[in-house]
Chains A and B, each alone.
Chain A
Amino acid sequence: MTVYVIRRLLGILPVLILVALGSFLLVHLVPGDPAMVMLGNDATPQQIQALKTQMGLDRSLPEQFALWGRQVLRGNLGESFFLGRPVTQSLMERLPATLQLALLSLVFSLLIGIPAGILAAVRQNTKWDQLIMITAMGGISIPSFWLGLFLILVFSVQLGWLPSGGYAPLWDDFWGGLRILVLPSISLGFMQAALIARMTRSSMLEVLRQDYVRTAKAKGLDWWRVTLRHALKNAMIPVITTIGTAFGVLLGGAVIVEIVFTYPGLGRLVVLAVQRRDYPLVQGALLLASVIYVLVNLAVDLLYGVFDPRIKYE
């Protein structure tokens, strides 16, 4: 297994090189000039040119890529044009905020999604099943920012129960931070809960039709044991894949929800960086997001073995 993990980790390298090149080209080929954005509409062409020279943007693209690539290889993602501080530091400051939001959203989506999926499967073609599947369809269809604005209107503005935005690290102010996180987590987690519920349902239906489940029932095992222990465990492989993808997406930064809730996470940082054409920051954030995604996928692959002992890592 150690060899497998090392091999997978080494496999990240070509992915990162491709992401680095792709993100560099993407941000540089989109029309926009950070110097013009920084100096504003009233800047003269001379002022803009002077700032471009200062930022090294007057060099050719291959030259800029080579300079940036060399920095990255030394573990330095460069300095943000706008924030005037190292990209790594800016990303690391936002990561805990995104991490706690992603985790809470995931917890919310698991708590709702898995029981709902199981219920829909064991009560297939009943009103319960229909209700859960219609709600899940809604969850997939409703954009998270719309749900976010709706929740703010109802729970913050109208009822005054929860804050409409902000941020407090959970380790500084646990309850305060949690209160802030409730609405964005629901907005984000609702869609994931819907996806997980649908996946759990279909996977459970397949497993529940297997012979060994019938045998278990025939042996006289109780319903709970058959459903939760024998069927659910075997139905989990595709569900874990869905959960892994969901977590990767959540960690990459919940762009719009972070903006709606004024939440200072990675997603909002990236949006602002794109709007300002802050090249080093966008490139650094994309690199980080891809590393996270690859690591989450690796964790998911390793989890398969926990649920299905037949899977071996060689």
Chain B
Amino acid sequence: MRRKPGLFAMVPAALAAILLTISPAVAGAPVQGGTLRAALTASAPTLDPHSGTHLAIREIGLHVFENLLAFDAKFQIVPQLAERWEASADGKVYTFTLRNGVKFHNGREMTAEDVRVSVERFRAVAPRRNELDGLAKLEVVSPSVVRMTLNKPDASFLAAIANPICQLAILPKEAVEGRPINKADIIGTGPYKFVEWIPDRWVRLARFADYKPEGKVEAGGFGGARNAYADEIRFVPVPEPGARVAGLQTGEYEFADFLPSASIPQLTGDRSLRIVRLGPQNYPTVYFNHTGKFKSLKLRQAVQAALNMDEIMQVANDGDGRVDPGLYFKEQVWHTTAGGKLYNQKNPAKAKQLLKEAGYNGEPVVFVTNTSYDYMYKAAQVIQEQLKKVGMNVTLGVYDWPGSLAVRKDMTKWDLFTSSHSTRFDPSANDFYFREKTTFFGYKNPKMEVLLDKASAATKFEERYKIYEEVQKLTYEDVALLKLYDHYTWQGHSAKLQGYTPWVQVRLWNLWRER
């Protein structure tokens, strides 16, 4: 451990901004070896990749497992375990040809039969299984070819295969066949193999010597070659932010995720560290309960008109973010500003007028938020103040995250609710908010259902993009929900680590330690 000078000296924020390294320059050739200790925020509930959407499952899982397809840095779908795929003209039959010579961590070569068994298991146990409801037939054509036939064309099918959230990972048949949720053997094809898991202490992974990287696609996002340079990675759950900061400073961790904004000026002054910004990571949202008083469009419009997103972002995340109306980030091919005129209006006079037209007479509005995610709580406090200024009587219902979710289930107990949307890899991931059958906030609009049906049947990107532009426009016009701002987070690593680029979530492949 080294002495860290100047700990108590707070570097002014302006200087910090100059010193920030957004993406460290890659110096020299990659070096193999060493153990990389990474502090994550949460403990993985399980390492079975099919079992859940929890962040820690995929943060660790993406180093161990691979899907047939992946998303590249531009969020486009690229082959991963599949060498290529073909879609029939009617958009119903997909044929995947697998890469040759890909080995599982148990030494056996991957075949089409493993793909069949993995997909079947995913359809049986995974929380995301309904995304494959349209899959009518799954055939092993040859040891290296799998054919999937759908009931009807589904534009989001490939995204469901590539989605890293609750990965449709390909595992060997013997590790998953007949295994219930959480009980798969942790054997994948990825650059690192599983060694040891001591819950709440660490997950140890070791470099897989027989890893066969994808070689045709440029490495970026989750796509392309994922080379393992460190001999071992230890993922350590460190839920307390101060402990992540201290561990990074003392060199106990070479990498730490979700660093608190308040620590950034101090950390950027430490030359043994690199602090990088992961932006955007998610966007906070406010849902209306469409079955209660917010059934009234005018009332929803009043809230929409009243909000000042710059102010909310400043308080909720110390200004680390971006005010943008897109339901998909600017970095994504799906980004659009459609409906954006209605976003961030900062117009209290209009809000007051709309409240009058809605016949609002100071009835109490219950705004449910949580303290587990402090940015949501802070955002709710600012929103409460902004709405009070236009004459709304807002009371906060503050719970921890599970408590707030439980309250949300009872539609008589809340009017507004804070949450956030993580990076969506395909716009269809938001469909369920807007469909009457699946939404949890009582939203109902036949026009929206028609648009979503059209989007699902469309197969060309341009066609889908236009429809989702309409969806976003309607979301704003109908005030279905409110997007607040693009939320940035901070990560830090030892200055000796080379090759790290922040993107969506922790990725420690193609990363090495300078000798």
Contacts and interface: CB of A to CB of B under 8 A. Distances in A.
Contacts of B3: 158-160
B200 A160 contact: no
Most buried by A among B3, B240, B400, B403: B240
Interface string A23-62: 0000000111110111111111111000100100000000
Contacts of A276: 45, 402
Interface string B5-37: 001000000000000000000000000000000
Interface in A79-123: 82-85, 90, 93-94
Contact of A45 (B182, B201, B243, B438): B438
Contact of A82 (B45, B165, B198): B45
A259 interface: yes
Contacts of B405: 32-33, 36-37, 41
B440 A262 contact: no
A161 B54 contact: no
Interface in B216-275: 236-240, 242-243, 246-247, 249-250, 252
Interface string B172-185: 00000000011100
B46 interface: yes
Contact of A272 (B43, B409, B420): B43
Contacts of B247: 164-165, 262
Given A31-B403, A45-B438, A156 B246 contact: yes
A83 B246 contact: no
A165 B420 contact: no
Nearest to B249: A157
A268 interface: yes
A158 B7 contact: yes
A258 to B, nearest CB: 10
Nearest to B199: A83
Nearest to A79: B182
A264 B2 CA distance: 25
A163 B2 CA distance: 11
B199 A261 contact: no
B89 interface: no
A18 interface: no
Contact of A262 (B45, B183, B236): B236
A149 B243 CA distance: 8
Nearest to B240: A259
Interface string B35-55: 000000001011010001110
Contacts of A85: 199
A85 B198 CA distance: 12
A43 B53 contact: yes
Interface in B101-125: none
Contact of A31 (B2, B54, B407): B407
B406 A36 contact: yes
A261 B243 contact: yes
B307 to A, nearest CB: 21
Interface string B117-144: 0000000000100100000000000000
A160 B130 contact: no
Interface in A195-212: none
Contacts of B52: 38-40
A30 B246 CA distance: 34
B451 interface: no
B461 interface: no
A71 to B, nearest CB: 19
Contact of A149 (B199, B238, B242): B242
A153 interface: yes
Considering residues B181, B249, B250, which has the most beta carbons from chain A within 10 angstroms of its beta carbon? Answer: B250
B200 A272 contact: yes
A161 B422 CA distance: 40
A163 B401 contact: no
B460 interface: no
Contact of A160 (B2, B46, B236): B2
B488 interface: no
Contacts of A36: 402, 405-406, 409
A167 interface: yes
A45 B54 CA distance: 17
B232 to A, nearest CB: 16
Interface residues on A, range: 35 or more
Interface centre among B127, B403, B429 (most CB of A within 10 A): B127
A108 to B, nearest CB: 21
Nearest to B45: A82
Contacts of A45: 438, 440
Contact of A42 (B53, B181, B237, B409): B53
Contact of B399 (A31, A41, A46): A31
A84 B45 contact: yes
Given A33-B409, A43-B53, A158 B4 contact: yes
A33 B243 contact: no
A166 interface: yes
A78 B502 CA distance: 40
Contacts of B240: 259-260, 262
Interface in B407-428: 407, 409, 419-420, 422
A288 interface: no
Contacts of A39: 52-53, 127
A286 interface: no
A277 B1 CA distance: 38
B130 A44 contact: yes
B252 A38 contact: no
Contacts of A90: 199
A152 B199 contact: no
B372 interface: yes
Interface string A125-162: 00000000000000000000000010011001111110
Nearest to A37: B402
Nearest to A94: B200
Interface string B137-154: 000000000000000000
A81 to B, nearest CB: 8
A30 B402 CA distance: 10
Indicate the member of B48, B130, B372 with the most A CB atoms within 10 Å: B130
A67 B106 CA distance: 39
B45 A38 contact: yes
Contact of B401 (A37, A46, A165): A37
A85 B405 CA distance: 25
Contacts of B372: 275
A194 interface: no
Nearest to B413: A31
A285 interface: no
Contact of B199 (A93, A259, A275): A93
Given A32-B400, A275-B401, 9 more contacts: A31-B399, A31-B403, A32-B406, A40-B52, A42-B432, A51-B127, A157-B250, A158-B7, A272-B239
11 contacts: A32-B403, A33-B405, A36-B402, A43-B127, A45-B438, A82-B46, A161-B1, A260-B243, A264-B198, A264-B200, A264-B201
Interface of A: 30-34, 36-47, 51, 54, 82-85, 90, 93-94, 149, 152-153, 156-161, 163-167, 259-262, 264, 268-269, 272, 275-277
Going nearest first, the 3 A-B pairs with the smallest beta carbon separation are A32-B402, A84-B182, A31-B406
Interface of B: 1-4, 7, 43, 45-46, 48, 52-54, 127, 130, 165, 181-183, 198-201, 236-240, 242-243, 246-247, 249-250, 252, 372, 399-403, 405-407, 409, 419-420, 422, 429, 432, 438, 440
